[in-house]
Chains A and B, each alone.
Chain A
């Protein structure tokens, strides 16, 4: 039995999830018991969902034996536990962003999700329309990136509002090939996971063949910088974080089976995203 205790959006918490995956990844036709105790950041349901699906794909049975009551309430409200035989609870405080599991071809469902769970939400009076638009654009860039590059069967998303901290956490997870393998296969190279993540974030860098690209992650980083938010990329055994303190990167002990992109946006962002002058459409090409 595994206990996941105090899971937050930190390097240490991702390490605990990786340890959990590594402990059970070779099991087949087995029962995997799990307990969630003390705290579990709701957006991390996306990462946990990906791991648990890897276990059930190996025909294991997953049993969540105990969940602390506070965690349980949130995971019932955000739909996560409805994938494990429980009924959804109504979210009266409207702070959850639903857990969603998508196939790569489900872009239209993702559109509805983004409208219902983010753009259409009225509980964020402090957030200007332009910031909301920029945030949504950033989330789309990550979703589409996973669609194009991950070679994953599923994409998992989940989020949470923190009204007191004026933040939104939003996480997109795939269980595909990861940055390192993608970059190394494309260029016949031998980069480690952190080098591969850093390369992919740089403006104009893309693994696509014959089609231009490589702007989405760079745009995201620029927005995060202006918004004073945070981005974390966990891929294979690499951890990369960018926020107001700058860049941090570390290696995990063991690998995550895919990629986690976790974004923290500030909802009290007063930056102006309006251009100072009209853009000349005749000068684009």
Chain B
């Protein structure tokens, strides 16, 4: 599979990758590449600040549009700090659950109201 590298800092235009809207730009690029059946490397070189809100839109949403298996095979990261990797792992685990069971949120609300 041919690989495309996406430079996060260049795509966002800032070393602070914090806003959900900026994550959306990254998501659209990843989606375009994956739709062409190419693999993607996300380069986090020079990223100084990351939020889960950014990672949710940039990466989390992919689990809505592609299978876990395909993402695992096609997506790689480089130059991600340890704390960035922990945040990304948490975003990914949350996304997998969220898209597997979209009714879970509503059930948790119903549980509170039923108490």
Contact = CB atoms under 8 A, between A and B. Distances in A.
Contact of A183 (B50, B83, B87, B109): B109
B105 A206 contact: yes
B113 to A, nearest CB: 6
A219 B97 CA distance: 18
B25 to A, nearest CB: 13
Interface stretch (A50-58, A69-77, A142-150, A237-245): A142-150
Nearest to B27: A211
Interface residues of B, number: 48
Contacts of B77: 281, 284
A147 B19 contact: yes
Most-contacted residue by chain B among A187, A204, A215, A216 (CB, 10 A)? A215
Interface size class of A (residues with CB under 8 A): 35 or more
Contacts, number: 120
Given A137-B49, A195-B112, A284-B77, A212 B86 contact: no
B83 A133 contact: yes
Given A107-B18, A189-B113, A279 B89 contact: yes
Contact of A219 (B52, B57, B72, B109): B52
Contacts of A148: 20, 53
Most-contacted residue by chain A among B53, B77, B113 (CB, 10 A)? B53
Interface in A210-262: 210-216, 219
Interface in B7-49: 14, 16, 18-21, 49
Q: Is the interface of B mostly helix, strand, loop or mixed?
A: helix
A278 interface: yes
Contacts of A206: 98, 105
Interface string A256-285: 000000000000000001110011011111
A210 B19 contact: no
B90 A147 contact: no
Contacts of B87: 215, 219
Interface of A: 107-108, 111, 133-134, 136-137, 140-141, 143-145, 147-148, 183, 187, 189-191, 195, 199, 202-207, 210-216, 219, 273-275, 278-279, 281-285
